[in-house]
Amino acid sequence: MSQHTPYAASADRYGKMQYNRCGRSGVRIPAVTLGLWQNFGSQTPFDTIREIAHYAFDAGICHFDLANNYGPVPGAAEENFGKLMQTSFRPYRDELFISTKAGYLMWPGPYGEWGSRKYLFSSLDQSLKRMKLDYVDLFYSHRYDPDTPLEETLQALVDMVRQGKALYVGISRYPHDAAVFAYQYLRENKTPCLLFQDRYNIIDRMPEKEDLVQLSARNGAGFISFSPLQQGLLTDRYLNGIPEGSRMSRSGSSLSRNVLTPAMLEALRGLDALARQRGQSLAQMALSWLLAKPEVTSVLIGASSVAQLKDNLGALANTAFSEQEKAAIEQTAAPIIITGRD
Ligand SMILES: NC(=O)c1ccc[n+]([C@@H]2O[C@H](COP(=O)([O-])OP(=O)(O)OC[C@H]3O[C@@H](n4cnc5c(N)ncnc54)[C@H](OP(=O)(O)O)[C@@H]3O)[C@@H](O)[C@H]2O)c1
């Protein structure tokens, strides 16, 4: 697209996507959400960022997930999203559901991370400026802070909504008992938790084991699964080596080469074969497996290219599993399943 041609979203963008209600709220979000943790920072050309973001919105992905620290460098993903707002998405603001978070390190000193009111409010104000927004649709406490009274963190979320800086609130990676407390506190303060965000996929079953998936449903919140592809492991990316430029190939990557053990490769190849029997890619089967669960509101994917995004969207075409298929997945994945917290 020439820089001078204004972006016009595809006219049939809502016909291709499925929208799921977040718990007992009034809000529906797309079954596939695009996350900007990696691939949208200062190391990615803006043309690539724009191409992926436009493709997503044209395909009905109206929910974009950010955080203050997404980059690299921290803040860069929000800045690039702000550039997208200015150059293409502004006319569609009311059609967009934009989330951000605070919890991890953003700036030095005692107020640059965790869960104090001081940090959360400063961070949200910075995020709004970077993203060129008046408000976010959803603000998350990005991680539980064991040293701050939970009431302080949660009251900050409630007040953000009262001040119109966020429409809804959510929590991410909270341990079970803190989540129980948070659901109740937020409900009592008339700002019910919209979404619980955690990593959940064929390999990582921690949220199932710790009752977090079921807990969100019992509390009327939705559940959004981040890293549903286990950062690319649950795709064909690493079945035959570590490709140049892949997440695992990068230095200081969040995806260590050490995970690619012979047992992991054998299980991934087995899962790939099961996916093919279903007429799906491994990535598609991994996403379908999550979307088949009634508690899962959306799968929160990452993508470094339009081709990946396109592949992943294909998951929506087949989210039904026979008992036999489910059992075969369990059996094949058994040696690589994780149930503990990292
Ligand atoms: N709340 C939290 O604490 C937290 C933590 C982590 C993530 N998140 C959220 O979750 C989002 C997604 O996380 P994630 O990026 O780890 O998700 P993911 O979907 O599990 O992994 C995405 C990566 O897998 C590879 N990939 C994706 N589709 C592929 C395909 N069809 N074929 C081959 N490879 C494919 C790409 O890696 P390559 O770079 O190798 O191409 C892509 O960057 C983040 O952006 C963020 O919004 C939240």
235 lines ligand 1 (CB under 6 A): yes
In this prediction, residue 110 carries a pLDDT of: 97
State the Cα–Cα distance between residues 130 and 113, nearest whole angstrom: 18
In this prediction, residue 245 carries a pLDDT of: 95
Q: What are phi and psi of 96, to 5 degrees?
A: -105, 145
* pLDDT, tens digit (0-9, with 9 covering 90-100), for 161-197: 999 999 999 999 999 999 999 999 999 999 999 999 9
Sign for the CA dihedral angle at 209, 268, 70, 225 comes to negative
Return the axis-axis angle of helices 282-291 and 306-313, rounded to nearest 10°. Answer: 50
In this prediction, residue 1 carries a pLDDT of: 47
308 lines ligand 1 (CB under 6 A): yes
Is the pLDDT at 143 greater than 70? The verdict is: yes
**CATH, range 13-336:** 3.20.20.100
Q: Which two tokens stand for residue 255?
A: 């995806």
- Computed over every residue of the chain, the mean pLDDT equals 97
Collapsing DSSP to helix, strand or coil, 199 comes out as strand
**Span from the CA of 204 to the centroid of ligand 1 (angstroms):** 14
Nearest-CA residue for ligand 1 atom 45 is 35
Quickly tell me which residue has 């998951």 as its tokens: 315
Q: How confident is the model at residue 38 (pLDDT cuts 50, 70, 90)?
A: very high
Q: Read off the pTM.
A: 0.98
Is the pLDDT at 2 greater than 70? The verdict is: no
77 lines ligand 1 (CB under 6 A): no
In this prediction, residue 152 carries a pLDDT of: 98
Collapsing DSSP to helix, strand or coil, 275 comes out as helix
Q: How confident is the model at residue 3 (pLDDT cuts 50, 70, 90)?
A: low
